[in-house]
Amino acid sequence: MERISVAEARRAEAVGRQAELNGWVRTRRDSKSGFSFVELNDGTTLANLQIICDAELANYDSEIRRLSPGCSIRVRGTIKESGGKGQSTEVQAEDVHVYGWADPEQYPLQKKRHSFEKLREWAHLRPRSNTFGAIARVRNSICRSIHDYFLEQDFLYVHTPIITASDCEGAGEMFKVTTLDLEMLAKKSTELDYKFDFFDRPAYLTVSGQLEAEIFATALGKVYTFGPTFRAENSNTSRHLAEFWMVEPEVAFAELPEDMDLAEGLIKRIFADVLNRCGEDMQFFNDRIDDTVLATLTSIAESDFERLSYTEAIALLEKADRKFEYPPQWGVDLQAEHERYLTEEAIGRPVILFDYPSTIKPFYMYVNDDEKTVRAMDVLVPKVGEIIGGSQREHRLDVLERRMREQNLDPDDYWWYLDLRRYGTVPHAGFGLGLERIVQFTTGMGNIRDVIPFPRTPGNAEF
Ligand code: 4AD
Ligand code: MG
C-alpha cells in the first residue's frame, strides 16, 4: 500500500486512493452510534486529517477507544470525499496500528492552549503544536527563498568558519572557544598562556561571516554565506538571541545603491514566496497571532522601500510631535523607539537608512567624502526594527588602516584582510539579514525565542 502524507491525502485528487498514513493523534471523538473520529497530524500541513474508525475494527475497543493526543499511529484505509466543514477528504480506516502511547495523565500538550513562555520549557515537544509547526514550515520556506534568490542570480554559496580569531563587528561580544582546563584556571589564577590552548591563540565563535565572505567575493565576484552566528551580548529583549542565523551576501564591484537594491529584492522575494507557498500557515498567523500580517506582507511585496539618510532621519525625529525616552541627536545610534517611530508612524513601511556617522559604525565601512559619515545601510521594518545591516566596504588601504587605529584595532591582526586591499582592490558591498528577525516579522510572533527551534539567550541552553 502506498504511503502518503496528510498534505497529499487532504487534496481532492486523493479521493478513491488506498493509502497508508503515519502521524500523531491530535484528538479523538467517539460517536454514540459506534464509531470514532481521530484527527491525525503528521507535520506536513497545519490542518489535520479526519480518520473514521468503525467499531468493527479488530482493536476498536482494546486500542482505538484509548487513543489520546500525542499517540503515534499508522492508518491504512481508503480516502473518501468528506461532508465535514474545513475538509474535502477523510479516511475510512481499515487497519489502525499504534506505535506509541502518550499517557493522557502526563503528556503536557493536551487540548488546552499553553502560553508561549510555558512552551519554551518544552522545546522538545513544542514542534507538535499548531503554532510551532507553522513556524517551522514558514522558516523553511524563507531559507529556500534565500538560496533560490541568490543562486538564480549566479551567486556562489560559500561556507565561512564558525570558529574565528577576529571580531568582525569590533564590539567584543564574542564567546571564547578553548580546550584549556577552566576549572584549573579558576582555582589557580595563573597567567594565561595560549601556547597551551588548542589554536595557540585566543579563538572565538564568529559574530559574522562577512570578513571571510569578502575574501571570496574579491576572487569570485558574487557570493553569500548562510549559517549560525553568535553574540555574547547580555540583551534580554524580544529581538536578541545569543545564537542566530544570518545570511550575508558580498558583491565585488558593487556600491551602496546596488547593495540596497539587493536587500530590498531579497525581502520582497521572501514575502512573495511565503504568501504563495504557505497560505494556510499564514492565514493561521493572521487569525491567531497578528491580524495585520497578511496585508502587511502583501503590501511590502508590492511597494518600494523608503530610502532616507541618517541625517534626514534625525531631522524627522527632531521635529516629531512626540516625547522620546532618548532624545534623538546626530552622532548617537538610533534606539528601538526611534526606529519604530520612523517605520510605523513617519513612513508607515520599511525604510532603508544610509550614511551613518562613522563613529557609531565598525571599521570596515567606506568613508564618505564628508569624512563624517560612512556608507552603511540598515533596513528597518515596523515592530521588529532592524532586520538588515550592511555597507559598502572600505577598499582603500590607507583609509582602512586609519579607521582601524581610530577604533583601537591593531592592523597587524587583520593583515590578511588588508592584503585584499593591497592586491587588486575593488569596490564591494554586502549585508547581513538576521533570519530570526525576518521569520518574526513574517509570522507576527512577538518574541524571537519562539521562531528558532532551540533559543539560546542569557541563562537558557537546556535543549
Ligand atoms: O547589523 P549586524 O551586526 O551586521 C553584521 O554583522 C555585518 N557584518 C553584516 C554584513 O554586512 N555582512 O547584524 C546583521 C543582522 C541584524 O540586522 C539583525 O537582523 C541580525 O543580524 N542580528 C541579530 N539577530 C538576532 N539576535 C541578535 N543578537 C542579533 N544581532 C544581529
Ligand atoms: Mg546592525
Q: Which residues surround ligand 2, an ion (CB under 5 A)?
A: 389
Residue 193 confidence class, pLDDT cut points 50, 70, 90 = confident
Give the residues surrounding ligand 1 with Cβ less than 6 Å away. 168-169, 208, 210, 231, 240-241, 244, 246, 248, 386-391, 430-432, 434, 436-437
- The minimum-distance atom of ligand 1 relative to the CA of 448 is 25
Question: How far apart are the CA of 247 and the centre of ligand 2, in A?
Answer: 13
* 58, 81, 100 - which closes a domain: 100
* Whether 66 and 152 share a structural domain: no
Ligand 1, atom 4: nearest CA belongs to which residue?
389
Q: What is the arithmetic mean of pLDDT over 110-114?
A: 80
Distance CA 84, CA 399 (A): 70
* Whether 279 and 356 share a structural domain: yes
Would the pLDDT of 115 be above 80?
Answer: yes
Would the pLDDT of 124 be above 70?
Answer: yes
* Whether 399 and 293 share a structural domain: yes
Cell output for 353: 537608512
Asked if the structure places residue 461 within a domain, the reply is no
Residue of 140, 147, 137 lying closest to 282 (CA atoms): 137
Bridge partners of residue 377, in order along the sequence: 354, 390
Would the pLDDT of 106 be above 80?
Answer: yes
Asked if the structure places residue 164 within a domain, the reply is no
**Can you list the positions of beta strands (E) in 287-424?**
306-309, 351-357, 373-381, 385-392
Range of the domain at 143: 128-159+253-450
Q: Per residue in 251-307, pLDDT tens?
A: 999 999 999 999 999 999 999 999 999 999 999 999 999 999 999 999 998 889 999
Would the pLDDT of 349 be above 70?
Answer: yes
* Whether 77 and 147 share a structural domain: no
Pocket of ligand 1, candidates 173, 215, 246, 440: which has the most ligand atoms within 8 Å of its Cβ, to mutate? 246
Radius of gyration (C-alpha) of the chain in whole angstroms: 27
* Whether 90 and 142 share a structural domain: no
Would the pLDDT of 181 be above 90?
Answer: no
Which percentage of the chain shows pLDDT scores above 90?
A: 89
Alpha helices by DSSP H, listed for 234-342, are 256-277, 279-288, 293-302, 310-318, 336-340
Would the pLDDT of 141 be above 70?
Answer: yes
Asked if the structure places residue 50 within a domain, the reply is yes
Distance CA 368, CA 355 (A): 8
Residue 234 confidence class, pLDDT cut points 50, 70, 90 = confident
Per-residue pLDDT, 189? 65
Per-residue pLDDT, 274? 98
* Whether 92 and 19 share a structural domain: yes
Would the pLDDT of 196 be above 90?
Answer: no
Contacts of 448 (CB under 8 A, 6+ apart): 238, 239, 240, 241, 244, 436, 437, 440, 455
Asked if the structure places residue 186 within a domain, the reply is no
Ligand 1, atom 1: nearest CA belongs to which residue?
389
Asked if the structure places residue 105 within a domain, the reply is no
Using CA of residue 138, residue 142, residue 143, residue 147, what is the dihedral sign?
A: positive
Question: How far apart are the CA of 431 and the centre of ligand 2, in A?
Answer: 9
Residue 14 confidence class, pLDDT cut points 50, 70, 90 = very high
Per-residue pLDDT, 126? 95
- The domain spanning residue 308 has which CATH number? 3.30.930.10
Ligand 1, atom 21: nearest CA belongs to which residue?
434
Per-residue pLDDT, 154? 98
Asked if the structure places residue 229 within a domain, the reply is no
**Contact in structure between 279 and 256 (CB atoms under 8 Å):** no
Per-residue pLDDT, 89? 96
Distance CA 142, CA 268 (A): 11
Residue of 437, 444, 440, 433 lying closest to 294 (CA atoms): 444
* 64, 83, 100 - which closes a domain: 100
* Whether 46 and 151 share a structural domain: no
Asked if the structure places residue 86 within a domain, the reply is yes
* Whether 12 and 75 share a structural domain: yes
* Whether 441 and 299 share a structural domain: yes
* Whether 13 and 144 share a structural domain: no
Contacts of 402 (CB under 8 A, 6+ apart): none
Asked if the structure places residue 242 within a domain, the reply is no
Which percentage of the chain shows pLDDT scores above 70?
A: 99
- The domain spanning residue 67 has which CATH number? 2.40.50.140
Q: Per residue in 377-412, pLDDT tens?
A: 999 999 999 999 999 999 999 999 999 999 999 999
Question: How far apart are the CA of 378 and the centre of ligand 2, in A?
Answer: 7
Ligand 1, atom 7: nearest CA belongs to which residue?
432
Per-residue pLDDT, 31? 93
* Whether 321 and 444 share a structural domain: yes
Counting ligands in written order, which one lies closest to the CA of residue 433? 1
DSSP string across 238-266: TT--SEEEEEEEEEET--HHHHHHHHHHH
Would the pLDDT of 190 be above 70?
Answer: no
**Contact in structure between 93 and 54 (CB atoms under 8 Å):** yes
- The minimum-distance atom of ligand 1 relative to the CA of 387 is 19
* Whether 38 and 144 share a structural domain: no
Give the chain's domain count: 2
The mean pLDDT of the chain is 95
Per-residue pLDDT, 446? 96
Residue 453 phi, psi dihedral angles, 5° rounding: -55, -45
Residue 184 confidence class, pLDDT cut points 50, 70, 90 = confident
